[in-house]
Amino acid sequence: MKTTRHEWTLTGLGCVSCARKIETTVRKMEGVASAHLDFVNSKFYVEISDDQDAGGIKERVKTIMSDIEPGASINDEREPENDEGRSFIKRVPIYITGLLLFIAAIILPEQSLVETMFFIAAWFIFGGQVLLKSFRNILKGRIFDENFLMTIATVGAFILGEYAEGASVMLFYQIGEMFQDYAVDSSRRSIKRLLDIKPEFANIITESGWVKVSPANVRPGDRIMVFPGERIPLDGRVLEGHSSVDTSPLTGESLPRDVQEGDEVLSGSINQSGVLTLEVTRSYENSTVSRILELVQTASGKKAVTERFITRFAAKYTPIVVGLAAMLAILPPLFTNTPFSQWAYRALVFLVISCPCALVISIPLGFFGGIGAASRKGILVKGGNYLEALAGVETMVFDKTGTLTTGVFEVTGVTSRPGFAEQELLHYAASAESYSTHPLAQSILNRYGQNPDPARMDSHTEIPGKGVSARVDGKQVLCGNRRLMADYNIDVDEGIAAGTSVYVAVDGVYAGRIDMGDTLKPDAASALKTLRDMGINDTVLLTGDIRETAHEVAGRLGIGKVHSQLLPQDKVTVLEGIMQKQEGKPVVFVGDGINDAAVISRADIGIAMGGIGSDAAIEAADIVIMDDELKKLGDAVAISRKTKRIVWQNIILALGVKLLFLTMATGGLATLWEAVFADVGVALLAVLNAMRIIRTGNMRS
């Protein structure tokens, strides 16, 4: 059945737990194929079957949102409202009134009617919204949540005559919620700032001048102008002008890049100095910035294993603790000579402590932060599941050309035979190759260091797949591979060298060879060392190059295992063999994302290097390094490990403190005052801890 994907902008949604409930409820609706609520960006992506009334489903979704979090809805104007902090400001006067009533009640004589009324009024001011949510959820069959726990605990405290403690639970619960909301909003804003690369306009050139238009209205081939300080709105090629371009929003690279006529520039970068005239090469929906935004917006939909477990755990956990609290209130008085009120109070403390807010809020926030921190460093992670899996990687498999090497050849050695000087050999080769466009020819010319004189060459013939034949200084020069030499019966007695060799013969006599190799990326060696220092010692090289070249590159980089002369399908077969030996440990493949799409897709985690402009990289990779810097691999692993470490710190903190206080509550050693700390205080600490992944500068700390 065909479906249509709808994107809705949300407003008024400030609760992570509520967002999870909304997503789960909508996903179960008839006619909904899938639903993903992106809390960070306030977006809701819903796939609706084409045979359903999309408008009707949208209205039902609005109702669900309003029921779960009053004030949350779909903003039909498409752009999110800038309501950060408004809800907090609106609540302040109300809560000040409640606080004054609470203080007055404490000052008033104990057990007086006025004191009781003041406590009830303060309780209602602070807990009115909680009571309303709990009542609505009960009517709709959603009983076991934090609102229900707070309602039962405080109503029970009032029934037992503990007015001060009942009111204080709601007071401190709401204060804690306000701080949590602030912390979550702060984290949300931090992540949004990291991804605030969307261009607002483009200056399109017309016959009468330039006009500002939406980037979505510009087509490939159009010309646009970008002035200093403006964000480049679309991918393009520089036609006129030169400038420095800040690519840090895309790549994390702080050093500006100089561009001039003929250079490619990416949307989302910032023009720093000169005026640039660009020819647009991609439409907005296919541009770099659009793809980045789409990737990051959908990343949270792929939840980590830990996150999925906690979601399921919280759903089962709450009804279990309610049942345990009921047993704690009822069973001990039946078998011991103790009053019911004593155990009922302990059960209420037990309920307040057991609220799973700390887990439900802080864990997804930790993964949000990890994805955002990676984006800030120019690393796009397509989901929390990949971020979590990367933390346990012990094996990395690498492609060679374009990944570890630049793909640009340079001369590594010149071996001349007796009777020919090195520079003479280079002169014949450079002259013969001077009209060739082959990369190897350009490398020879670069090594020769001067422009050959055309007057000294009489003829030039390209021999496809073999080399060239030319007359230089009146002599017949052959320049090419072994097959060219064999065609002319020229004996080449040299052994096979690592890399690529060009053989030269003059008037039928073998003159020598020029060895060339693909140059390593400048940070390749240091990046591999960093990975080894991080415990990733099992490194493998897969390449289509000859054995000698592959082993030479692997030796220089300290890569332990090498598989050479592989076709693309061979790489997949070799990778599958490696994965079978890892006993459940994830295996990473790092490629350039263009000719390695199949093996990138097959790996547990596929990483594309420098492939942000490549369709293959975007579609096949799980993680995209937005420039060619191999050192970002270490950053990605460090971010993933730190994220996982913080997530597990929060799990241990929340469960450990709650277990301690639940034990104390059962033994009568904890009051509702301590219960508030065990609930709200721990949740706040967990949220603040989760925010560290965004705030920190050194991910390896």
Phi-psi region for residue 593, left (φ > 0), alpha (ψ -120 to 50) or beta?
left
Q: What is the pLDDT of residue 686?
A: 82
Alpha helices in 479-541 (DSSP H): 482-487, 524-533
In 3D space, the residue among 468, 466, 461 whose CA is nearest the CA of residue 481 turns out to be: 466
Beta bridge partners of 542: 399, 563
Q: What is the pLDDT of residue 75?
A: 81
Alpha helices in 377-489 (DSSP H): 384-390, 422-433, 439-448, 482-487
Pick the most confident of 106-110, 334-338, 534-538. 534-538
Pair type for strands 500-506 and 509-520: antiparallel
* Coil/strand/helix, residue 448: helix
Token pair of 56, please? 């009707």
* Coil/strand/helix, residue 662: helix
Pick the most confident of 183-192, 354-363, 624-633. 624-633
How far apart CA 338 and CA 503 sit, in angstroms, is 100
Share above pLDDT 70 across residues of the chain, in percent, rounded to a whole number: 85
- List the end-to-end C-alpha distance of the chain, in Å, as a whole number: 50
In 3D space, the residue among 394, 399, 395 whose CA is nearest the CA of residue 541 turns out to be: 399
Q: Where are the domains of the chain?
A: 3-74, 87-192+300-363+642-695, 219-282, 379-404+522-626, 406-519
Q: What is the pLDDT of residue 180?
A: 64
Is residue 626 a contact partner of residue 378, using CB atoms and an 8 Å limit? yes
What architecture does CATH give domain 3-74? Answer: 2-Layer Sandwich (3.30)
C-alpha separations of 120 from 93, 148, 162 in Å: 18, 18, 11
Q: What is the pLDDT of residue 402?
A: 80
How far apart CA 80 and CA 41 sit, in angstroms, is 9
Helix, strand, coil % in the chain, rounded to nearest 5: 50, 20, 30
Is residue 329 a contact partner of residue 344, using CB atoms and an 8 Å limit? yes
Is residue 287 a contact partner of residue 234, using CB atoms and an 8 Å limit? yes
Model pLDDT for residues 498-524, shown as the tens digit of each residue: 567 899 999 999 999 998 877 888 899
Phi-psi region for residue 406, left (φ > 0), alpha (ψ -120 to 50) or beta?
alpha
Residue type, 579: M
Mean pLDDT over all residues of the chain? 82
Model pLDDT for residues 550-566, shown as the tens digit of each residue: 888 899 899 999 998 88
How far apart CA 146 and CA 463 sit, in angstroms, is 78
Q: Which residue has the higher pLDDT, 256 or 425?
A: 425
Catalytic residue among 67, 145, 181, 399: 399
User: With the CA atoms of 423, 426, 432 and 434 taken in that order, what torsion angle do they form, in degrees rounded to the nearest 10?
Assistant: -100
Q: Which residue has the higher pLDDT, 165 or 423?
A: 423
Q: What is the pLDDT of residue 302?
A: 59
Residue type, 305: V
Q: What is the pLDDT of residue 410?
A: 84
Model pLDDT for residues 272-302, shown as the tens digit of each residue: 888 999 999 988 887 777 766 666 655 555 5
Tally of CA atoms within 13 A in the half-sphere of 472 that contains its CB: 26
Q: Which residue has the higher pLDDT, 256 or 394?
A: 394
In 3D space, the residue among 610, 607, 587, 588 whose CA is nearest the CA of residue 597 turns out to be: 607
Min mean pLDDT across 21-30, 286-295, 394-403 is at: 286-295
CB atoms within 10 A of CB 209: 9
Q: What is the pLDDT of residue 82?
A: 47
How far apart CA 313 and CA 333 sit, in angstroms, is 31
Is residue 517 a contact partner of residue 498, using CB atoms and an 8 Å limit? yes
List the Cα angle 659/661/662 in 5-degree steps.
60
CB atoms within 10 A of CB 561: 14
Token pair of 172, please? 């401190």
What architecture does CATH give domain 406-519? Answer: 3-Layer(aba) Sandwich (3.40)
Mention every residue, 6+ apart, whose C-beta is less than 8 A from residue 327: none
How far apart CA 413 and CA 258 sit, in angstroms, is 32
Q: What is the pLDDT of residue 535?
A: 93
Token pair of 286, please? 């296919």
Token pair of 626, please? 């937005």
Q: Which residue has the higher pLDDT, 188 or 657?
A: 657
How far apart CA 490 and CA 496 sit, in angstroms, is 16
In 575-620, where do the E strands start and end? 587-591, 605-609
How far apart CA 610 and CA 589 sit, in angstroms, is 14
Tally of CA atoms within 13 A in the half-sphere of 290 that contains its CB: 13
Asked if residue 656 has pLDDT above 80, the reply is yes
Largest CA distance in the chain: 119
Q: What is the pLDDT of residue 240?
A: 93
Q: Which residue has the higher pLDDT, 301 or 94?
A: 94
* Coil/strand/helix, residue 276: strand
List the Cα angle 368/371/372 in 5-degree steps.
85
Share above pLDDT 90 across residues of the chain, in percent, rounded to a whole number: 26
Token pair of 701, please? 């700390």
User: Which band of pLDDT confidence, cut at 50, 70 and 90, is reported for residue 174?
Assistant: confident
Model pLDDT for residues 299-352, shown as the tens digit of each residue: 555 566 676 676 677 667 778 888 888 899 999 998 888 888 899 889 888 887
C-alpha separations of 632 from 297, 371, 458 in Å: 21, 14, 51
How far apart CA 596 and CA 598 sit, in angstroms, is 6
User: With the CA atoms of 69, 70, 76 and 77 taken in that order, what torsion angle do they form, in degrees rounded to the nearest 10?
Assistant: -100
How far apart CA 643 and CA 384 sit, in angstroms, is 10
DSSP 199-217: ---EEEEETTEEEEE-GGG
Asked if residue 81 has pLDDT above 50, the reply is no
Length reported for the chain: 701
How far apart CA 407 and CA 410 sit, in angstroms, is 10
Min mean pLDDT across 362-371, 560-569, 634-643 is at: 362-371
* Kind and range of the H or E run holding 235: none
The CATH number of the structural domain formed by 219-282 is 2.70.150.10
DSSP type of residue 521: P
Sheet holding 587-591: strands in order across? 379-381, 623-625, 605-609, 587-591, 395-399, 538-542, 561-563
User: Which band of pLDDT confidence, cut at 50, 70 and 90, is reported for residue 681?
Assistant: confident
Average pLDDT for 533-561? 89
How is domain 379-404+522-626 classified at the CATH fold level?
Rossmann fold (3.40.50)
**Known catalytic residue: 458?**
no
Is residue 126 a contact partner of residue 116, using CB atoms and an 8 Å limit? no
DSSP 300-325: TTS--HHHHHHHHHHHHHHHHHHHHH
Tally of CA atoms within 13 A in the half-sphere of 360 that contains its CB: 24
How far apart CA 134 and CA 146 sit, in angstroms, is 8
